[in-house]
Amino acid sequence: MKFVDEATVRVQAGNGGAGCVSFRREKNIPLGGPDGGDGGDGGSIWLVAREGINTLADFRVNRRYRARHGEQGSGSNCSGRGGEDLEIPVPCGTLVYAEETAELLGDLTRPGERLLVAAGGHGGKGNTRFKSSVNQAPRRSTPGTPGEQRVLRLELTLLADVGLLGKPNAGKSTLIRAVSAARPKVADYPFTTLHPNLGVVSVGPLRSFVMADIPGLIEGAADGAGLGMRFLRHLERTRLLLHIVDIATAPGTTDPADDAVEIVRELERFSPTLAAKERWLVLNKTDLIDEAEADRAGAAVIERLGWRGPLYRVSAMTGDGTAPLMGDVMTRLEEISAPAEAAAGEGA
């Protein structure tokens, strides 16, 4: 499942430091020659592809990046200190465009790949550089050149890291609204989700992932019933599934345990590979029933599924329990990525 994550940022490289006009002043050498040093170069700005970063969410908070300026030169032929380069980590697969011209500047696909997006200015020349046989005491220096400034548009085609499974009205759309900026339609009738919704879930600086909410599954979805079948194949590329079960169904309606078993059955019919994918059980709508009732409903679901995996109770409506769930999901995704990152480091 793909969508394009975009961000616009402004980058400004450091200016070069000015050259220095200076003359030696030593005992017994009243008219010493020029000894003004050059200015330091300004720092450049690089984008660097990094594993473990999944979205451009942080660039919608931090939109401006500046590298340090070079320092001015000084006497005794001392050059100014150069400004340090600034490296900005971005996800692998980031396309970088110049906003004004729409020119593609680069495509960062491999971990560690670097792209120069703003070159630092050159340091100016000190007056020592202008000494000649006809000009023994030059009083001339040059200023540093300005660093490049650019407005960049970053684009990232994302695959969802986490997929939400569940019956219609299990609370998937409410959950994705609660933990991300996605705003899918939420209502109390089936199939309010008519197309996939994706949201970026941020749990801290440079720690975020993409969650996908697909239309609810009904019996026969693997054979094309309802809206879910055409989207099931997209979930095969996710790394983790959250199985959302409504444990607060009204008496006389569907049973939560039956609903949970039905989802698993449809997964197995559609794709054994998808059914074998790591899946966590999330019992939702705990705010609508008392604790004892939630215990009974949850126990029935666990027994029918023979569940031995991770289990969470949440209220997507109130947000209760969602923060620990999202934090644990992020940690698990990082654990899944760790072997690939280690292999990439060994091959570098």
> What DSSP element (H or E) covers 203?
strand 197-204
pLDDT tens-digit map of 101-126: 989 999 888 888 999 999 999 999 99
Tell me what pLDDT residue 227 has. Answer: 42
Distance between CA atoms of residues 43 and 33, nearest Å: 31
Q: How many CB atoms lie within 10 A of CB 332?
A: 18
Distance between CA atoms of residues 145 and 131, nearest Å: 21
What's the token pair of residue 48? 């660097």
The residue assigned the tokens 């200023």 is: 143
Q: How many CB atoms lie within 10 A of CB 264?
A: 16
Among 84-93, 182-191, 260-269, the range with the most confident prediction by mean pLDDT is 84-93
Q: What's the rounded mean pLDDT across residues 4-21? A: 90
Q: What's the rounded mean pLDDT across residues 162-181? A: 86
CATH code at 160-347: 3.40.50.300
Residues of the chain with pLDDT > 90: what percent?
46
pLDDT tens-digit map of 332-344: 999 988 765 555 5
pTM of the predicted structure, to 2 decimals: 0.57
Among 23-27, 62-66, 193-197, 342-346, the range with the most confident prediction by mean pLDDT is 62-66
Tell me what pLDDT residue 237 has. Answer: 67
Tell me what pLDDT residue 272 has. Answer: 84
Q: What's the rounded mean pLDDT across residues 186-196? A: 45
Spell out the domain ranges in the chain. 2-157, 160-347
Please state the CATH superfamily assignment of the domain spanning residues 2-157 in this structure: GTP1/OBG domain (2.70.210.12)
Q: What's the rounded mean pLDDT across residues 42-49? A: 96
In the predicted model, is pLDDT for residue 189 greater than 70? no
Tell me what pLDDT residue 165 has. Answer: 86
Alpha helices in the chain (DSSP H): 172-179, 229-232, 256-270, 272-276, 291-305, 322-347
Tell me what pLDDT residue 341 has. Answer: 55
Distance between CA atoms of residues 341 and 113, nearest Å: 14
Query: Taking CA 65 as the corner, what is the angle to CA 61 and CA 68, rounded to the nearest 5 degrees?
Result: 150
